[in-house]
Amino acid sequence: MSTNPRFDAAWKTWLDDNIRRGCTHQSLIDAMIANAFHPNTARSILARHIAGDDIGQDEEAAGDYLYGKPMLPPGRVLAASDRAAQKLFSCEEPVVALLCDVLSDEECDRLIEVGRECVQRSSVVDPDSGSEVLIEARKSEGAFVNGSTDALVATIDRRLAELVQQPVENGEDLHILRYGVGGEYRPHFDYFPEEQAGSKHHMQRGGQRVATLILYLNEVEQGGDTTFPDIGLTIHPRRGAALYFEYVNELGQTDPRTLHAGTPVERGEKWIATKWIRRGRFRAQA
């Protein structure tokens, strides 16, 4: 059952009046979210209202995520200037693909070496304040590495941007992560929920996250899979491969079916490097 308010005649009049006043679309969306509309619903209603659709008061599907043309390029092979990567599998709803041979063995080893020198206990974004906090749901060690200080990281940043055809400046710094035995990351989203106050701070640094690339740096002896529980998908780590998934459409809606997790490492250790891609140019923390 939907928990959204009813989109009635009063709301339609309110939208018309504020559009005529020249209010930005984002300000209208923010106001609707503040009045208990789900962000996806607010974005869908505004787009359909502007397009002239007659939206009924009791439409349950008004806020469903709308799948359109994926950002990920089509075809079985994606090409960068220094490397090509084949899609081992892909699906469309949600958009998920596993790319093989994104990194060489030597590059994987080098990133692990870099990580061993600097990883610290991983944090998450507090939903209320936007600050970084430690929680039991995430048991790993991580470190951000910047391409301006490491030539290999700069090469990988450029390669990833070329493979998925996104501007390199929209990528956050590469995040190297180590999971020991028992290390896990329970089900979560990579995008910033707009209804949470803490998201606004992070979205000022390049907008919403729109896609993720998880680079697998080693073969895990046991455990350490990446799972998407809502669609029954499990990916076993494969050295040198990259898992890609995207979760924001042209309306700015976020895809709840990209809920994912890193299952506990049962034996050995797990090394990955994550690249989050923003809607706009990413600005590192000052």
Q: Residue 117 is part of a domain; what is its CATH number?
A: 2.60.120.620
Question: Which band of pLDDT confidence, cut at 50, 70 and 90, is reported for residue 3?
Answer: low
188 phi, psi to nearest 5 deg: -160, 170
- Tell me which residue range forms the domain holding 44: 9-63
Tokens of 8: 């009635």
Q: What is the mean pLDDT of residues 158-172?
A: 98
Distance CA 183, CA 13 (A): 52
The yes-or-no verdict on residue 180 having pLDDT over 50 is yes
Does residue 43 share a domain with residue 143?
A: no
Q: List, in order, residues 6 or more apart from 122 with CB less than 8 Å away.
A: 134, 138, 139, 140, 141, 142, 177
Specify if 70 maps to a domain. no
| pLDDT for position 135 | 67
Distance CA 201, CA 127 (A): 10
Does residue 27 share a domain with residue 101?
A: no
pLDDT tens-digit profile of 205-240? 999 999 999 999 999 999 999 999 999 999 999 999
**Do 262 and 226 touch, CB atoms closer than 8 A?**
yes
From the list 217, 239, 205, the residue with the least C-alpha distance to 100 is 239
Does residue 22 share a domain with residue 101?
A: no
| pLDDT for position 1 | 42
Based on the number of CB atoms within 10 Å of its own CB, is 272 exposed (0-12), middle (13-18) or buried (19 or more)?
buried
How far does CA 10 lie from the centroid of its chain? 35
**Do 2 and 59 touch, CB atoms closer than 8 A?**
no
| pLDDT for position 236 | 97
Distance CA 173, CA 157 (A): 8
| pLDDT for position 173 | 97
The yes-or-no verdict on residue 58 having pLDDT over 80 is no
User: Which of these ranges, 52-66, 97-111, 199-213, 238-252, has the smallest mean pLDDT?
Assistant: 52-66
pLDDT tens-digit profile of 235-278? 999 999 999 999 999 999 999 999 999 999 999 999 999 999 99
Q: What is the mean pLDDT of residues 124-151?
A: 79
160 phi, psi to nearest 5 deg: -60, -45
pTM of the model: 0.85
Specify if 68 maps to a domain. no
pLDDT tens-digit profile of 115-133? 999 888 777 666 666 677 7
- Domain tally for the chain? 2
| pLDDT for position 195 | 83
Domain end among 39, 63, 87: 63
| pLDDT for position 64 | 82
Q: What is the mean pLDDT of residues 277-285?
A: 91
Question: Which band of pLDDT confidence, cut at 50, 70 and 90, is reported for residue 61?
Answer: very low
Does residue 83 share a domain with residue 58?
A: no
> In whole numbers, what is the pLDDT of the chain averaged over residues?
91
Does residue 225 share a domain with residue 104?
A: yes
> Which of 13-17, 64-68, 129-133 is modeled with the greatest confidence?
13-17
